[in-house]
Structure 1
Amino acid sequence: MNAQKGFTLIELMIVVAIIGILAAVALPAYQDYTVRAKMSEVVLAGSTCRTAVTEAYQAASSIPTAGNFGCESTSGTKVSKYVQSVTTGANGVITVTAATDDSLKEASGKSIIMTPLTTAGATPSAGTGVGSWKCGPGTGMPPKYLPSSCRD
């Protein structure tokens, strides 16, 4: 009597099917993860402005006007591979715009908005200081691509 050794064809096909299903589920999740990692660079690009705005609210007797906090970078050249520009608006609201890079998928060219708040959650005034920052998507930015610290 010859005993069979190895796997049957149907067993191998089941294993291949299971691996295929797992890959079909994991690949989109991995692609979203890589875009989210690139978007963390966009959030990090606003950290210089967050410091400047926080210092202005803490120490200044009057708050600078939009675009005059000294941390903006709106020149025609990109700030980094994934960051197009960093601007400040009224009340120190920071807008960081992602570069138009195909690897950013739907987040390409969209922006993240960082808003300074007091510890009570209101807009700060000169001399009161910034208690926290609210980070959220700008117009058209899919929230799934934002780092977890920047989701509402």
Structure 2
Amino acid sequence: MKKQQGFTLIELMIVVAVIGVLSAIAIPQYQRYVAKAEVASALATVSGVKTNVEAHAVETGSFPNGQSAAQALGVPSMDIGSISLVQDTDDTGAIVFQFGTTASASVSSIVAEKYFKLARTSAGSWECSSGDDSDAAGVDESLLPKNCK
């Protein structure tokens, strides 16, 4: 009678194959989850800025424009990207969030160097978008939170 000494080669190969299949599915899903979390975090910060911008637009009758206006309104700096204010007309404009590069910040490669914006209409409502259809630099629509679609 012989006692079993360990696993056979075929058993080890099956385990390695199962681990390979699971990781091939799990890693891309995790990267997408991280990208969605980064977009949601940036949108939450931009939504906070929206209150200050709206107050400025109502008080002065014009949308704030440029970096000096952003600093005056207390726009925070973020590690994953930057927030800028862009005026279209006197009372309309957009708050644009531009994600940084993967080298300069800890940003997911899925959203690196892409942007989304909150635009203020002349009626005073806000619309969220991630660029035009022809604009490849916008964040993928599927990564935006439901309140931004």
Aligning the two structures, in what range does the TM-score lie when normalised by the shorter sequence? 0.5 to 0.7
Structure 2 CA distance for partners of 1:104 and 1:141, relative to 1, 3 Å: farther
Aligned to 1:98: 99
Q: Shift of the alpha carbon at 1:62?
A: 6.2
Aligned to 2:129: 136
Q: What TM-score does the superposition give when structure 2 sets the normalisation length?
A: 0.66
Structure 2 CA distance for partners of 1:145 and 1:81, relative to 1, 3 Å: farther
Q: Which runs of 5+ in 2 are unaligned?
A: none
Aligned to 1:119: none
**Counterpart of 1:136 in structure 2: which amino acid?**
S
Matching residue within 94, 107, 114 for 1:110: 114
Q: What is the 5 A alignment of 1:44-83?
A: 44-55=44-55, 60=58, 63-67=61-65, 72-73=70-71, 79-83=77-81
What are the Cα deviations for residues 16-40 of structure 1, in whole angstroms up to 9, with x where unaligned?
Answer: 2011111011111112222322233
Given that 1:37 and 1:147 are in contact with CA atoms closer than 8 Å, whether structure 2 keeps it comes out as no
Q: Shift of the alpha carbon at 1:51?
A: 0.8
C-alpha RMSD over aligned residues: 3.4
**Counterpart of 1:79 in structure 2: which amino acid?**
S
Structure 2 CA distance for partners of 1:3 and 1:101, relative to 1, 3 Å: closer
Quick one: distance in 2 between partners of 1:99 and 1:25?
A: 27
**Counterpart of 1:134 in structure 2: which amino acid?**
E
Runs of 4+ in 1 over 6 A off after TM superposition: none
- RCO greater where, 1 or 2, for CA within 8 Å and sep 6 or more? 1
Q: Shift of the alpha carbon at 1:82?
A: 0.7
Q: What is the 5 A alignment of 1:4-83?
A: 7-55=7-55, 60=58, 63-67=61-65, 72-73=70-71, 79-83=77-81
> What percentage of residue pairs aligned between the two structures are identical?
28
Quick one: distance in 2 between partners of 1:49 and 1:88?
A: 13
Q: What TM-score does the superposition give when structure 1 sets the normalisation length?
A: 0.65
Q: Which runs of 5+ in 1 are unaligned?
A: 117-122
Q: Does 2:76 align with 1:86?
A: no
Structure 2 CA distance for partners of 1:18 and 1:144, relative to 1, 3 Å: farther
Structure 2 CA distance for partners of 1:34 and 1:98, relative to 1, 3 Å: same
